[in-house]
Structure 1
Amino acid sequence: MTPVHRNVELVTAALRTAGADPARVARLRVLSDAVTTAASAAAALGVEVGQIANSLVFSADGEPLLVLTSGAHRVDTGKVAALVGARQVRRASAEFVHAATGQVIGGIAPVGHPAPLRTLVDRALAAHDEVWAAGGIAHAVFPTTFDELVVVTGGQPADVA
């Protein structure tokens, strides 16, 4: 049996602890190829790009901010800054992301981080019965729902585009 990456173990444990549906957690998939973009993840899973919940980490006045956004659009950092009361929201460096999440860009999960992150969950994801999020590495994905993402992350529903 192939060992599971530690980040995937942390993500599945965090999902279970936060009350995610065990049937969905059991459907976590480790793909043969990395899926580091919403388009590649959607193609590998046979779903619409809007069903991909991108986990993007920003620096909001120097503090990490996780934005779970639909793969169908881009985050409006000005709108997000206003939502969180920050002077400036900008894309975080790879080092900043890794320090905040313990994961690398392209495989950031909504959960499984060293400490909880302030999180916004894109309301556009609610348009889909099922969405897919990264599982802590670029090869892992799991199914979830908008409502479940809000619960397991302690996130705030928001219009981020």
Structure 2
Amino acid sequence: MARRNAARNASAQGTPATAALAAAGVSFVLHPYDHDPAAASYGAEAAALLGVDPARVFKTLMVEVDGRLAVGIVPVSGTLDLKAFAAAMGTKKAAMADPAAAQRRTGYVLGGISPLGQRLPSPTVLDSSALSLESMLVSGGRRGLDIELAPADLVRLTDAATAAISSA
């Protein structure tokens, strides 16, 4: 993955996610693309328009577990396995969060929710498939912007646990 100066990237496409990366001194690459509001899947759209394997592009999902919100990060090529997510969180049940609650909690709009720079951080679980990648892409904090970074940096900055939480 080509590395660019994080501070320069953050100033060019400033979002809370890019600001968090720049503040942490993490190397990342921005991947802007022209978002189509009619797109059925934000993640699949990003993978297709950026010409990136969907197994390297991850979606950020807000999940309700025991009355609190948590973050699941899975490849766009799969779906979040709610039972596996609940187990990773040490509980029996998990459900997708109310979209309005997800937006309020994160400060981002649906389709642009980044695991980085959220208004209120939440417990986070990253699908373990990311650990085999040199780099991965996640939302940059707005529709039409993805951030490429090392999985280890994402884990460190979000204090994420890793577990097999995606199903094909």
- Same fold by TM-score, threshold 0.5 exceeded? yes
Partner of residue 67 from structure 2, selected from 62, 70, 79: 62
Provide the rounded CA distance (Å) in 2 between the counterparts of 1:72 and 1:120: 17
Other-structure match for 1:140: 145
Gaps of 5+ in 1: none
Other-structure match for 1:29: 31
- Seen in structure 2, the aligned counterparts of structure 1 residues 108 and 8 have a Cα distance that, compared at 3 Å, is farther
Other-structure match for 1:82: 87
Gaps of 5+ in 2: 1-9
Contact persistence 1:55–1:133 (CA under 8 A): yes
| Aligned: 1:106 with 2:111 | yes
RMSD over aligned Cα atoms: 1.9
- Seen in structure 2, the aligned counterparts of structure 1 residues 141 and 40 have a Cα distance that, compared at 3 Å, is same
- TM-score w.r.t. structure 1 length? 0.85
| Deviation (angstroms), 1:127 | 2.6
Partner of residue 15 from structure 1, selected from 21, 38, 50: 21
Between the two proteins, the alignment pairs up a number of residues equal to 152
Secondary structure, counterpart of 1:65 in structure 2: strand
Q: Percent identity?
A: 26
